[in-house]
Amino acid sequence: MAGPRRDTRGIVDARDLFAHVDFRRREPAPALRPYLEHYWLIDWDLPAPYATHVVPHPSVNLVLERAAGGAPRGEVAGVLGGLWTRKLTGRGRVCGVQFRPGGFRPFAPRRPVSYWTGRHVPLPQACAELGDGGPGVRAAAEAVSARATGPEPEDERVAALDAFLLGLGPEPTDGTRAALALVERVRADRSVRRAADLAATEGVSVRALQRLFAAHVGVGPKWVILRYRIHEALERAESGGDVDWADLAGELGYSDQAHLVRDFTTTVGVPPTAYARRLTAL
């Protein structure tokens, strides 16, 4: 990995978000990079409330947060469907860990990742499933929540995240490696358009592929393929140029433009042409 991703895939109206908050991505320690996309750090000081919207990746996130003058709190957020909306007010700070799709299970080996899907689990409760689940995990989680959201220099806060995650002793399995590779293939290879095609190239049944994804990704291969299609469509709309939606639908493997429009509207809340027009007007 040459560094944290620089794209804005999944962020709805990224330019507006970056105008309201200080958003950064940081790279984790080398030993963690096979499992993590990056750390994402946000600070804000807002005169009025602001709502941010994200079409989530098929990723689990560990989110540590502190409002100005408040106590730190954290949660494990499983893979989320639909549009995720968060209202920011006043002054605050978030430090997030975005795991690679397939990369969370080594840190929480006793449960299939589907256990976390659609859930926001408070960190004290989640600690029973992290690492060895012992009391040391909870103590370490409390410490990293305070330090990662505190006033220390950013390098020290990132180092605290590294130390906490490495302390969980992640151990990959063959399933981990297979899931990581398959999701990366879906993300990078636009010719992968159906779960059945992916299963065939791997020499496994669709059912076996679905079991692998449930255990290590948290959602099925069809869901992952669709989500990356929507991310691509969002990024095209964000580019600011004219988009031939019919051509893009064919490029992404849709049978026609209507199917792309339907999926985009269901996920983002507005049709793609209306979304693109809104961005142009800003």
Check pLDDT > 80 for residue 278: no
> What pTM value is reported for the model?
0.92
User: Residue 115: which of 165, 78, 76, 82 has the closest Cα?
Assistant: 78
pLDDT digits (tens, 9 = 90+) for 102-143: 999 999 999 999 999 999 999 999 999 999 999 999 999 999
The residues with which 24 forms a beta bridge, in sequence order, are: 41
Q: What is the average pLDDT value for the chain, to the nearest integer?
A: 92
Domain boundaries defined on the chain: 14-167, 174-281
Task: Give residue 218's pLDDT band: very low, low, confident or very high (50, 70, 90).
Answer: very high
Q: Determine the pLDDT at residue 207.
A: 97
Range with the poorest average pLDDT among 22-26, 142-146, 221-225, 238-242 = 238-242
Check pLDDT > 50 for residue 1: no
CB 154 within 8 Å of CB 26: yes
Task: Give residue 8's pLDDT band: very low, low, confident or very high (50, 70, 90).
Answer: confident
Q: Determine the pLDDT at residue 12.
A: 87
* Size of the chain in residues: 282
Phi, psi at 199, each rounded to 5° = -65, -40
Q: Does domain 174-281 have CATH number 1.10.238.10?
A: no
pLDDT digits (tens, 9 = 90+) for 135-160: 999 999 999 999 999 999 999 999 99
The residues with which 146 forms a beta bridge, in sequence order, are: none
d(CA 160, CA 93): 15
Check pLDDT > 90 for residue 242: no
Q: How many CA atoms lie within 13 A of 90 on its CB side?
A: 8
d(CA 227, CA 82): 9
Q: Determine the pLDDT at residue 3.
A: 67
Check pLDDT > 80 for residue 6: no
Q: Determine the pLDDT at residue 281.
A: 56
d(CA 196, CA 194): 5
Check pLDDT > 60 for residue 80: yes
Q: Count CB neighbours of 274 within 10 A.
A: 14
Check pLDDT > 90 for residue 241: no
Q: Determine the pLDDT at residue 14.
A: 86
Q: Determine the pLDDT at residue 280.
A: 61
